[in-house]
Amino acid sequence: MPLPEKYYVSYNCVHKLCKKSAEELLERIGKPDLIIGIGGGGFIPARILRTFLKHDGEKNIPIQAIGLSLYEDMGNQDTIGTEIVRTQWLDFGALEKNFDSLIGKNILIVDEVDDTRTTLHYALSELYKDINEKAKSLGRDIHDTKFSIFVVHNKMKAKRADIDESMMNGGVYLSGEDVPDKWIAYPWEANDIDDHTRRAVEQGHD
């Protein structure tokens, strides 16, 4: 049986989706105070997005990295993708020095793809939990801390987890594009970038 065709995406395509989405984000939530990229796939879109979220002459928006890995239990279909391991997390110490903590800030979480939504669910709920604990310890309220989410691609499929809007405090969820449930081939994974880009162009994703 032939392998299912992958959904090829070029660097230009990612760049343009980030540009278009940054304009929408600025309209809907204003300029974020902090971008949190979920590694590894979220790092490149996070950096591209920053270019378009900042106006000339303004300070760069800081980007923090978090690392999350999905451990799939292939033996049990019910638990696939349910275990997430933090491989890297925010350094509140460093953030406090340079950033006066995250409480009350406009925070944008970025990843390249929303597949089963497990990762985004985890990232939002754990960030909320940690910042809420911090807020409580300082006698402050988390409700003016806005959490938004941007993904380059959202796969149109049944999700395994939800994004809890009540944690977003007025923030938004935005995808650059909603796509079919196919294997997305991103350019940073390509061995032969010229061949990859040609395929992306052929599919109209350039």
Ligand X SMILES: O=P(O)(O)OC[C@H]1O[C@H](OP(=O)(O)OP(=O)(O)O)[C@H](O)[C@@H]1O
Active site residues: 115
Shortest distance, CB of residue 180 to ligand X, whole angstroms?
Answer: 15
Cα dihedral 176→177→178→180 (10° resolution)? -130
Q: Whose Cβ is closer to ligand X: residue 142's or residue 200's?
A: 200
**Separation between Cα atoms, residue 19 and residue 25, nearest integer Å:** 10
**Separation between Cα atoms, residue 74 and residue 124, nearest integer Å:** 25
State whether residue 160 is helix, strand or coil. Answer: coil
Shortest distance, CB of residue 117 to ligand X, whole angstroms?
Answer: 5
Q: Whose Cβ is closer to ligand X: residue 178's or residue 202's?
A: 178
Q: Whose Cβ is closer to ligand X: residue 40's or residue 187's?
A: 40
List, in sequence order, the alpha helices (H) in the chain: 11-29, 43-53, 92-99, 118-137, 193-202
Shortest distance, CB of residue 71 to ligand X, whole angstroms?
Answer: 9
Site for ligand X, rule CB under 6 A: 38-41, 69-70, 81, 111-119
